[in-house]
Copies of this chain bind each other. A is one copy, B any other.
Amino acid sequence: MPRSASRSRSRTSATPRAARRPRVIWLYGLSGAGKSTLAAGLARRLRAGGVATMLLDGDVVRAGLNRDLGFSAADRAENIRRVAEVSRLFVQAGVSVVAAFITPTRALRELARGIVGAGAFVDVYVEASWATCQRRDPKGLYARAGRGEVRQFTGKDAPFEPPARTARVVNTEACTVTQALDRLQALVGPRRRARTRRAAR
């Protein structure tokens, strides 16, 4: 293999410094709060900035890797455990992850942080009130839960624990998607270059 010719084109050497320190941006919050929308938008922005990025969305993962899991407390924990382990593998491969999972309890958030490693884990609460999420109801889940067709629905008959006051929060109640994305990017921005941070303000 002609190593000298191809080595200079390897991913690691061709990407900017920021891309060499992969991390896991973990968005949590109620169904309908805007996690998937923001995660997809953030992943797009990171990629556009030269950061190899994988989007892990709850619904997508539950259709593949975690298709055997339901919504009992034990299955929710296993869901988060596996996604955190997979995120860790991506970080090992040099790829950042944007994850969008309800992650309803503090214990589950700590489980994910412990597996990924605190140094690479950035969790952000995507906040919207129950009333707002119910009004948006992008998947019709609130309507179904209201009719008693969905069991263990987070915030209704399964707990959601808001984070401590010191948590990173993006509130999506009264802003556009672009505004929420700008806020999210500012929150997770410490590893971006100074010029980029100024532009985002």
Contacts and interface: CB of A to CB of B under 8 A. Distances in A.
B3 A49 contact: yes
Interface residues of A, number: 41
B15 A50 contact: no
A136 interface: no
A181 to B, nearest CB: 10
Copy number of this protein in the oligomer?
2
A167 interface: no
Q: Which of A14, A50, A90, A199 has its CB near the most chain B CB atoms (within 10 A)?
A: A50
B10 A199 contact: no
A9 B14 contact: yes
Contact of A64 (B45, B64, B85, B195): B85
A89 interface: yes
Given A3-B49, A65-B85, 18 more contacts: A1-B200, A2-B196, A9-B14, A9-B15, A9-B16, A10-B47, A10-B50, A11-B15, A52-B52, A52-B93, A52-B94, A54-B89, A54-B93, A65-B89, A68-B78, A86-B86, A90-B93, A93-B95
Interface of A: 1-3, 6-7, 9-11, 14-16, 19, 45, 47-50, 52-54, 56, 64-65, 68, 78, 82, 85-86, 88-90, 92-95, 115, 185, 195-196, 199-200
